Amino acid sequence: MPDLKTADDRLIVALDMPDALSGMAMAEKIGDAVSFYKIGLGMLTGGGLALANELADEHGKRIFLDMKLFDIGATVEAAVRGLSQFGHDFLTVHGDPHVVRAAAQTKGDMKILAVTILTSLDRADLDASCIKAGDITDLVQERAGLALSNGADGVIASPQEAALIRALPEAEGKLIITPGVRPAGADLGDQKRVTTPAQAIANGADHVVVGRPIWQHSDPKAAAEAILVELHSPQEMS
């Protein structure tokens, strides 16, 4: 098992690979530079849960299961109960109050993270989905407050909204995890509400999630290490 005492777990690397074999190969390339990995829904049928368990049990990594669960309360309770047996760190659910309350019932030691509004969406996308009118930042704050007051241990939100969420009374002692993070000069991909890793931390995030800028890089370990250097930059302390 690699020595992770000096690893900075504020960086979570999203292993958005097609299957567990390619995910493990990527984790091996990155090595001990990273201690925390996100396994998403897209890999679930490709052995994602097995990969999560192997990374945790055999390599000492922390695991964020990004499943974004949404269903009736009883089904959410059952799904969360089943996932809690593996002892992983984080699990996402949609931030609707009934979903969060159900997840909190059977989470065990896992932290339940509520999705506010996906960072790939903008106001036009919300309009197309018949989501109520209003500024997207205001909606994120409202959903975050509701989720936290209904039992979420933290929220997933754009780094652009992290500072506003951190200021909420309900956010005291809770986690903010920010996807939509891109190092300076990186391609935005399908993300629309983004900022740099250091700025996300400065805005109040506890963890930043980075995927393609690392695993699509010709040297994934070097890319991860560059982000870790940025997290310790003077910008973070400003």
Query: Is 71 an annotated catalytic residue?
Result: yes
Residue 64 has pLDDT above 90, yes or no: yes
* Mean pLDDT score, 70-92: 97
187 is catalytic: no
Q: Is the dihedral of CA 181, 237, 174, 107 positive or negative?
A: positive
206 an active-site residue?
no
pLDDT for res 159: 77
Higher local confidence (pLDDT), 15 or 194: 15
- List pLDDT tens digits, range 73-82: 999 999 999 9
Residue 32 pLDDT = 93
Query: Does some domain include residue 238?
Result: no
Q: Is 4 domain-assigned?
A: no
Across the chain, how many H-helices and E-strands are there? 11, 8
- From 61, 68, 107, 174, the catalytic residue: 68
Instruction: Considering the candidates 61, 66, 89, 174, report the single residue annotated as catalytic.
Output: 66
The answer as to whether 112 is a domain residue is: yes
Please give the pLDDT value at position 238.
41
Is residue 30 situated within a structural domain?
A: yes
Answer yes or no: is 5 within a domain.
no
pLDDT for 199-224, tens place per residue?
A: 889 889 999 999 999 999 999 999 99
What pLDDT, in 10s, does the model give residues 26-47? 999 999 999 999 999 999 889 9
Write down the pLDDT at residue 132.
Answer: 92
How much is the CA Rg of the chain, to the nearest whole Å? Answer: 17
CATH code for the domain of 76: 3.20.20.70
Among 152, 122, 120, smallest CA distance to 137 is for: 122
* Collapsed DSSP state (helix, strand, coil) of residue 39: strand
CB-CB contact of 163 with 143 (8 Å):
no
Is 127 annotated in a binding site? The answer is no
Tell me, yes or no, whether 15 lies in a domain: yes
Residue 237 pLDDT: 42
pLDDT tens figures, 109-164: 999 999 998 877 889 999 999 999 999 889 999 999 999 999 999 999 887 788 99
Check whether 212 is labelled as a binding-site residue.
Answer: yes
φ/ψ bin of 75: left (φ > 0), alpha (ψ from -120 to 50), beta (otherwise):
alpha
Cα 20 to Cα 180: distance, rounded to the nearest angstrom: 23
End-to-end, the C-alpha distance of the chain in Å comes to 36
The active-site residue, picked from 8, 71, 125, 206, is: 71
Whether residue 59 has pLDDT greater than 80 = yes
Question: What pLDDT score was predicted for residue 37?
Answer: 98
Q: Going by C-beta distance under 8 Å and a sequence separation of 6 or more, which residues neighbour residue 176?
A: 154, 155, 157, 162, 165, 166, 204, 205, 206, 207
Answer whether residue 3 is part of any domain.
no
Q: What is the mean pLDDT of residues 41-67?
A: 95
Are residues 32 and 2 in contact, defined by beta-carbon separation less than 8 angstroms?
Answer: yes
Which pTM was predicted?
0.89
Overall average pLDDT of the 5-31 stretch: 91
Query: Taking each helix axis from N to C terminus, what angle separates 136-149 and 97-105, rounded to the nearest 10 degrees?
Result: 30
Range of the domain at 43: 11-232
Mean pLDDT of 183-202: 65
Percentage of the chain exceeding pLDDT 90: 71
Q: What does DSSP say about strands 175-178 and 111-115: parallel, antiparallel, or unpaired?
A: unpaired
Does any domain span residue 1? Answer: no
For the chain, the average pLDDT equals 89
Classify strands 90-94 and 62-69 as parallel, antiparallel or unpaired: parallel
3-state secondary structure at position 111: strand
Confirm or deny that 75 is annotated as ligand binding.
yes
pLDDT at 181 over 80: no
Q: Which two tokens stand for residue 134?
A: 């209003």
Largest alpha-carbon pair distance within the chain? 50
Please tell me the distance from the alpha carbon of residue 113 to that of residue 129, in angstroms, as a whole number: 23
Tokens of 22: 């390619």
Distance CA 238, CA 230 (A): 13
Q: Is 69 annotated as a binding residue?
A: yes
pLDDT of amino acid 6: 58
Q: How confident is the model at residue 184 (pLDDT cuts 50, 70, 90)?
A: low
Q: How many domains does the chain have?
A: 1
pLDDT of residue 231: 86
| Average pLDDT of the segment spanning 6-35 | 93
* Distance between CA atoms of residues 140 and 120, nearest Å: 13
